[in-house]
Amino acid sequence: MVYMYPKAYIEFLAHFHGTRDYFECHEILEEYWKEVDPRNRSSIWVWLIQIAVAMYHDRRGNQNGAKTLIKRCLRKKVEHERELPLLGLDGERLEKQLEAFKARLDKEVPYRSWNMPIIDNELRKEVHLLCQQWNVAYGSPSDMSDEFLLMKHKMRRKSL
């Protein structure tokens, strides 16, 4: 099967919407970014990584880190307006979601899972299929009792 989108991007979305493993989102897209556009710090891939890292910080209670990243993502969103539809995402809806994310952080409301606005039905099917293969439910909330998921950056180092 030929994918319209990079495999790494589909895996990123499956983790973002299915496993809610934002650390893995970062790892997958960083590796892909380093392959295709390594010196471009303004790359759409870096921007998506930063959204996932903001989610990771928020979920583990580092709301200052999450705020810093989300503010940066909101400022840089305009740079990616043309690319987002090419990646099957609704840029306007995503911007509203990022603004709502920032507002929630400003009010110190605890973490809440959310989904990126995928507008390409074929992409959504690919992401759903990958979630099924991984035996995770697309769109279910994060498992807040999974310590490895919440603190993967620390626990991963111990296992290396």
Pairwise CA distance, residues 14 & 148, whole Å: 18
| Burial zone of 64 (CB within 10 Å; 0-12 exposed, 13-18 middle, 19+ buried) | exposed
- What domains are there in the chain, each with its CATH number? 7-159 (1.10.3450)
Q: How far apart are CA 54 and CA 63, in angstroms?
A: 8
Asked if residues 136 and 19 have their Cβ atoms less than 8 Å apart, the reply is yes
Three-class DSSP category at 137: coil
Indicate the SS3 state at residue 89.
Answer: strand
From first to last of its 160 residues, the chain has per-residue pLDDT tens of 344 899 999 999 999 999 999 999 999 999 999 999 988 999 999 999 999 999 999 999 999 999 999 999 999 999 999 999 999 999 999 999 999 999 999 999 999 999 999 999 999 999 999 999 999 999 999 888 778 777 777 666 544 4
